[in-house]
Structure 1
Amino acid sequence: MKEHILDLFLRKYRINMVKPTIKKYNNCRLLDIGCGWEARLLKSIEDYIEYGVGIDFKPPELKTHKLSTIKMKLEKKLPFEDESFDIVTMLAVLEHISYPEDILREINRVLKKDGRLILTVPSKMAKPILEFMAFKLRIIDRAEIEDHKKYYNKNDIILCSEASNFILEKHRYFQFGCNNFACFYKE
């Protein structure tokens, strides 16, 4: 699968945004929801984690002593025990999910106490820009944009996180307000 050049740049940008938080956890167990077809985040943080698992409907088959992937379509349940992970990442995934509150509750369930959920998600301002870049300019993947269920601003993220018992630790917009970066913790 060939990735559009702008999609590649945006993915690298998101990965670089989350690495500092991941590096704060010595030998953490990490779940990457929506790891993508190359599991790039997992591969790029392998030196900083004890174990990482990625789930997606299109991941590569990956099985090493530190990393693995699971091929599955994300619905309302995660196939992991309670309090299995220190960090869960969702980079450009929440906008594709039909039941975001259910998944966030599941993430809360699989996170350890004081664990972190790190996510990026497009803002409402991004919708016309992404559609223009996908449908007219064809510089990002059209199918990915057509699959977006919802765009989020800070207040939308706060409402979703409160419904799933997370506490917002950090939020900022990036890429000229078109994307959200948020970090939540579980008490």
Structure 2
Amino acid sequence: MEPVLRNLRIGRVLNEIKKVPNCMLLDVGCGFNHKFLSTVEPYIAQGVGIDFKVPNVSFRKIRAIQMKLNETMPFHNDSFNIATMLAVLEHLEKPKQILDEIARVLQDEGKLILTVPGKRAKPVLEFLAFKLGIVNRAEIEDHKKYYDLTDLQELADQSGKFEIVHHRYFQFGMNNFCVMKKI
């Protein structure tokens, strides 16, 4: 089931990436196999993924760096014009600090594109994980928070570095697709 959900997220984000010529992409929480970066490689100039699970690798236009998301990112200011966080925000202990760090490495008016489970998803995901076992139990147990538009707006406001330029729910209102612009 998780690959199906991942592919739905990728399709939504790819449409945004295609709008940016010479896209310099940072994928925050890229996962062990940096699948998203590999999928979008034909549409970007360069991509970097960071995650505590990913091995350090570099090939073609993609580089992956193993690091925890509570650290300062090893990039210069204004290094990227797009950052993505796909099904990552719900796992973060300190989401505002991560948004602040993403803002630092994004160029002016750069975009943060994220997907995050909505509040409606909590009982469904827990049922699928804990009762049916068709979603990874450990992943669901690691969720710190489920978000709706109000929560995302509060997070952007707390940061003071982003404004939401597009939001919509998908997957029957159980997932958020959000585009924030650095201000």
Same fold, TM-score > 0.5, yes or no: yes
Shift of 1:76: 4.6
Match of 1:19?
14
SS in 2 for 1:155: helix
Match of 1:160?
155
Please say if residues 39 and 60 of structure 1, whose CA atoms lie closer than 8 Å, have aligned partners that are also in contact.
no
Match of 1:84?
79
Match of 1:3?
none
Match of 1:170?
166
1:143 aligned residue (138, 144, 149): 138
> In the alignment, does 2:63 pair up with 1:68?
yes
Runs of 4+ in 1 over 3 A off after TM superposition: none
What letter matches 2:177 in structure 1?
F
Residues of 1 paired with 2:39 and 2:60: CA distance?
Answer: 15
5+ residue gaps, structure 2: none
Root-mean-square deviation (CA, aligned residues, Å) is 1.0
5+ residue gaps, structure 1: 1-5
> In the alignment, does 2:105 pair up with 1:110?
yes
Structure 1, 89-98 or 46-55: larger mean CA deviation: 46-55
Residues of 2 paired with 1:169 and 1:13: CA distance?
Answer: 21
What do residues 52-104 of structure 1 show as CA deviations (whole Å, max 9, x unaligned)? 00011111443113101001111152221111100000000000000001111
Structure 2 CA distance for partners of 1:141 and 1:126, relative to 1, 3 Å = same
Match of 1:9?
4
> In the alignment, does 2:182 pair up with 1:186?
yes
Length, aligned pairs only: 182
Residues of 1 paired with 2:74 and 2:129: CA distance?
Answer: 33
Match of 1:36?
31
What letter matches 2:53 in structure 1?
K
SS in 2 for 1:63: strand
Residues of 1 paired with 2:54 and 2:71: CA distance?
Answer: 19
TM-score normalised according to structure 2 size: 0.96
Quote the sequence identity (%). 54
> In the alignment, does 2:117 pair up with 1:122?
yes
